[in-house]
């Protein structure tokens, strides 16, 4: 089995990288400063195994069908890193007989997915301009995407097929609830 010895972690920070040295995995913050992965930030501990698996799958010579299932990719990641991870997963997990299934509680992940869906839509008429904002390899075709909310043991589709987007109320509902609570406190 092939081991990935080094991997840039640009979805977190352009300066850091993963390196495997012997039996130990390290996170390098520059050319000299390193920390054992097991002692690094929890976000790195969560995301590095995902990235290693995806990169390893790309190295396989034979054609396999892959179903990547990533449970709560947002764990321990800042919103920007969540967005970068979603773009990375779409780019690397949705081609050549590969599928991606995500579970999430994060409105940032949902908003990120909506941006990729919108990039695909807008990219049909303005590909160069859209590509400057979101690289084409991360655009998400709404025909190849579906979203559900699981509630009380039932799955409910939350896609707005006319817009090719996840329904806004799914993303904004959390913000609205916080704003409501905030307003009530202000009124006291």
DSSP-assigned states of every residue in 155-180: EEE-EETTTTEE-HHHHHHHHHHHHH
66-71/98-103 β-pairing: parallel
Tokens of 128: 């160069």
Which one has a higher pLDDT value, 24 or 98? Answer: 24
Mean of the pLDDT values across residues 78-91? 93
Q: What local confidence, expressed as pLDDT, does residue 120 receive?
A: 95
pLDDT confidence tier of residue 182, bands split at 50, 70 and 90: confident
- Whether 117 has a pLDDT exceeding 70, the answer reads yes
Q: Are 81 and 94 contained in the same domain?
A: yes
Give the pTM.
0.86
The residue range of the domain holding 3 is 1-62
Distance CA 93, CA 66 (A): 8
Which one has a higher pLDDT value, 75 or 168? Answer: 75
The total domain count for the chain is: 2
Helices (H), the chain: 42-59, 79-93, 107-123, 127-133, 168-186
Q: Are 87 and 133 contained in the same domain?
A: yes
């Amino acid at each position: 089995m092939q081991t990935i010895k080094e991997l840039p972690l640009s979805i977190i920070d352009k300066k850091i990288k993963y390196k495997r040295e012997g039996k130990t995995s390290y996170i390098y913050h520059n050319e000299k400063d390193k920390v054992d992965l097991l002692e690094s930030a929890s976000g790195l501990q969560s995301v590095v195994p995902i990235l290693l698996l995806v990169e390893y799958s790309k190295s396989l010579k034979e054609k396999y069908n892959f179903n990547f299932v990533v449970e709560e990719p947002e764990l321990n990641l800042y919103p920007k890193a969540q967005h970068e991870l979603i773009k990375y997963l779409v780019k690397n997990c949705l081609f050549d007989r590969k599928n991606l299934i995500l579970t999430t509680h994060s409105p940032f992940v949902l908003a990120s997915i909506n941006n990729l869906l919108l990039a695909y839509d807008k990219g049909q008429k303005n590909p160069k301009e859209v590509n400057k904002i979101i690289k084409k390899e991360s655009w998400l075709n709404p025909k190849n995407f579906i979203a559900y909310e699981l509630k009380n043991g039932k799955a409910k589709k939350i896609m707005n097929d006319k817009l090719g987007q996840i329904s806004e109320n799914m993303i904004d509902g959390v913000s609205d609830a916080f704003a409501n609570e905030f307003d009530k406190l202000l009124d006291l």
